[in-house]
């Protein structure tokens, strides 16, 4: 088989590394890849934005690529899976409609609220409601800070602000609605309650019907030693996560992940690929903070080295809707990124 991996980071390096160990694969292309990836795959200098979808699918045709695996969220939210599928190429990931779970935090918050899936309380404001958003922040009692201000759309991991006080919350709202630092992604925001606890990530394989959770990982979010800096998309990670007890793990699946997958189906969305839940565990109870529509970065780097199975048949089972015939097994060793 020939496989193409789209993306250029450490997550994609890990994906390429794991795919390179598959007994089914004899050639891997990475677009655009990176220096590390070039040691184990052929890196091809094509763009991965919307404007490059045609070049990518032409490349897949030319090289007779059997499977494309997408690392980052932006091409998924822009509909790369729809584009490849319409041209008859196999690609791992959700369609544009399904990727809305990451592409719009407002969409996801409303879905969770509709299906009563545990998530922090949150209020949505559009940019035309700037004054209302400010009044809302003024109405929050001093003891209720910090609050979380989230930009609706993709913001490269920078769209979530934990506002320690009123001033910081107002600044975050201004940044979205007035300075427009996130462009259209910031034209709607959610102001959300801040829950105290610890975060954990769960990445699940999905084929539209069946969902199989992978090993848990935890990423550490704040930059600088001692968690002194700003929130990031994740500075490192480890797996497994011993602070999640068996009981909490069962609650994560039964109160959040499985109900969400049923809700997605009920909304008429066929979700294939990775469904990644970013969870907060507060007083032993799990809450969904966000969904992502792809492999986590840097969680992937701590999870895939523990996967004992060949990844490629699992990815193909997601694409073909045959995940119910699969199971996965994990090495008990610990992995740190």
Helices (H) and strands (E) in the chain, counts: 12, 16
- Contact mark string toward ligand GLY, 35..74, x via CB under 6 A: ----------------------------------------
Binding to ligand GLY, residues 137-196 (CB under 6 A): 157
- Local structure of residue 307 (DSSP, 8 states): B
> Is 296 among the residues that bind ligand GLY (CB under 6 A)?
yes
> Is 286 among the residues that bind ligand GLY (CB under 6 A)?
no
Residues 6 or more apart whose Cβ sits within 8 Å of residue 190 = 105, 106, 109, 122, 123, 124, 125, 148, 149, 150, 152
Q: Rounded to an integer, what distance in angstroms lies between the CA atom of residue 284 and that of residue 287?
A: 10
Nearer Cβ to ligand GLY, position 60 or 76?
76
Q: Rounded to an integer, what distance in angstroms lies between the CA atom of residue 282 and that of residue 121?
A: 14
Give the strands of the sheet with 160-163, arranged side by side: 122-126, 188-193, 147-151, 160-163
> Is 277 among the residues that bind ligand GLY (CB under 6 A)?
no
Nearer Cβ to ligand GLY, position 177 or 276?
276
Token pair belonging to 142: 């001093």
Nearer Cβ to ligand GLY, position 207 or 297?
297
Nearer Cβ to ligand GLY, position 122 or 234?
234
Measured from each CB, the residue nearest to ligand GLY is 234
Tell which residue, 268, 270, 336, 278, has the closest CA to residue 306.
336
Q: Rounded to an integer, what distance in angstroms lies between the CA atom of residue 253 and that of residue 220?
A: 22
> Is 234 among the residues that bind ligand GLY (CB under 6 A)?
yes
> Is 94 among the residues that bind ligand GLY (CB under 6 A)?
no
Residues 6 or more apart whose Cβ sits within 8 Å of residue 62 = none
Tell which residue, 306, 307, 232, 233, has the closest CA to residue 276.
233
Distance in Å, CB of 329 to ligand GLY, minimum:
24
Residues 6 or more apart whose Cβ sits within 8 Å of residue 170 = 134, 137
Could you tell me how many residues of this chain bind ligand GLY (CB under 6 A)? 8
Helix/strand/coil for 114:
helix
Q: Please give the full DSSP string across 165-222, using - where no structure is assigned.
A: SHHHHHHHHHHHHTS-TTGGGGSEEEEEEPPPSEEEEEEEEEESS-EEE---BEEEEE
31-58: burial string, b at 16+ Cβ within 10 Å, e else: bbbeebbeeebebeeeebeeebbeebbe
Distance in Å, CB of 158 to ligand GLY, minimum:
11
> Is 297 among the residues that bind ligand GLY (CB under 6 A)?
yes
Distance in Å, CB of 201 to ligand GLY, minimum:
6
> Is 22 among the residues that bind ligand GLY (CB under 6 A)?
no
> Is 292 among the residues that bind ligand GLY (CB under 6 A)?
yes
> Is 12 among the residues that bind ligand GLY (CB under 6 A)?
no
Binding to ligand GLY, residues 242-271 (CB under 6 A): none
Distance in Å, CB of 234 to ligand GLY, minimum:
3
Stretch that binds ligand GLY, among 25-33, 258-266, 294-302, 304-312 (CB under 6 A): 294-302
In this chain, which of 104, 108, 219, 312 binds ligand GLY, going by CB under 6 A? 219
Distance in Å, CB of 88 to ligand GLY, minimum:
30
Stretch that binds ligand GLY, among 17-25, 109-117, 291-299, 307-315 (CB under 6 A): 291-299
Stretch that binds ligand GLY, among 55-63, 134-142, 203-211, 293-301 (CB under 6 A): 293-301
Nearer Cβ to ligand GLY, position 176 or 303?
303
Q: What is the largest CA-CA distance in the chain?
A: 61
Burial classification of residue 123, based on how many CB atoms lie within 10 Å of its CB (0-12 exposed, 13-18 middle, 19 or more buried): middle
Binding residues for ligand GLY (CB under 6 A) = 157, 219, 233-234, 292, 296-297, 299
């Amino acid at each position: 088989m020939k496989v193409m991996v789209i993306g250029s980071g450490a997550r994609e390096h890990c994906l390429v590394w794991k795919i390179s160990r598959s007994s089914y694969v004899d050639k891997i292309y990475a677009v655009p890849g990176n220096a590390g990836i070039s040691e184990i795959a052929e890196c091809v200098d094509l763009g991965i934005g919307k404007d490059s979808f045609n070049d990518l699918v032409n490349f897949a045709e030319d090289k007779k690529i059997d499977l494309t695996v997408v690392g980052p969220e932006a091409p998924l939210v822009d509909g790369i899976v729809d584009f490849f599928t319409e041209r008859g190429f196999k690609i791992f990931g959700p369609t544009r409609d399904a990727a809305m779970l990451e592409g719009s935090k407002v969409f996801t918050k409303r879905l969770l609220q509709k299906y009563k899936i545990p998530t922090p309380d949150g209020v949505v404001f559009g940019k035309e409601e700037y004054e209302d958003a400010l009044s809302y922040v003024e109405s929050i009692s001093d003891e209720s800070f910090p609050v979380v201000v989230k930009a609706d759309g993709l913001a490269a991991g920078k769209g979530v602000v934990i506002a320690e006080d009123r001033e910081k919350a107002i600044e975050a709202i201004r940044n979205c609605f007035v300075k427009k630092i996130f462009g259209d992604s910031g034209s709607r925001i959610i102001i959300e309650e801040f829950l105290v606890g610890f975060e954990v990530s769960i990445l699940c394989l999905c084929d539209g019907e069946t969902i199989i959770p992978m090993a848990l990982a935890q990423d550490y979010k704040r930059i600088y030693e001692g968690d002194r800096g700003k929130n990031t998309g994740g500075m490192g990670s480890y797996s497994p996560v011993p602070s999640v007890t068996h009981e909490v793990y069962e609650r994560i699946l039964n109160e959040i992940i499985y109900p969400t997958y049923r809700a997605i189906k009920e909304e008429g969305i066929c979700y294939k690929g990775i469904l990644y839940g970013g969870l907060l565990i507060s007083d032993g109870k799990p809450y969904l903070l966000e969904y992502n529509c792809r492999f986590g970065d840097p969680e992937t780097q701590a999870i895939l080295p523990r996967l004992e199975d060949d990844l490629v048949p699992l990815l193909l089972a997601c694409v073909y809707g045959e995940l119910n015939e699969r199971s996965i097994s994990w090495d008990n060793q610990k992995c740190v990124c």
